[in-house]
């Protein structure tokens, strides 16, 4: 499980949210794939989402989870644009 905290930019409140990643293709999944999964669960478009790590690093859609060293138990932040 990779934890995504949803951050509302308008009022800076944070809501916990968990997004599971399939173990069989985790290494080749991209940040874009993760955004598509999150968007489907939230009922929005992936283009409206930004995933960050440690509040300052914006993760790029075409980079894989393995390249970012994201594994089970990793925490990420999901922002709405």
Q: How many domains does the chain have?
A: 1
Percent of the chain with pLDDT over 70: 68
- The whole-number pLDDT of residue 76 equals 82
pLDDT (tens digit per residue) in 46-80: 999 888 887 778 999 999 988 998 877 777 888 88
DSSP string, 12-72: --EEEEEE---GGGTTT-BHHHHHHHHHHHHTS-GGGEEEEETTTEEPPTTSBTTTTT--T
Dist CA 32 CA 47 (whole Å): 9
Q: What is the CATH number of the domain that holds 44?
A: 3.10.20.90
Quote the domain boundaries for residue 51.
2-80
Region 29-38 average pLDDT:
88
Tokens of 17: 């949210």
pTM value is 0.74
pLDDT recorded at residue 62: 96
With a cut of 70, say whether residue 22 has pLDDT above it.
no
**Upper half-sphere CA count for residue 48 (Cβ side, 13 Å):** 13
């Amino acid at each position: 499980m990779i934890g995504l905290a949803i951050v509302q930019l308008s009022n800076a409140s944070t809501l916990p949210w968990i997004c599971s990643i399939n173990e069989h293709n985790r290494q080749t999944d991209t940040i874009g794939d993760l955004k598509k999964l999150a968007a489907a669960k939230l009922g929005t478009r992936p283009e409206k989402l930004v995933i960050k790590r440690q509040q300052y690093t914006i993760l790029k859609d075409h980079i894989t989870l393995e390249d970012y060293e994201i594994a089970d138990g990793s925490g990420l932040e999901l922002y709405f644009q």
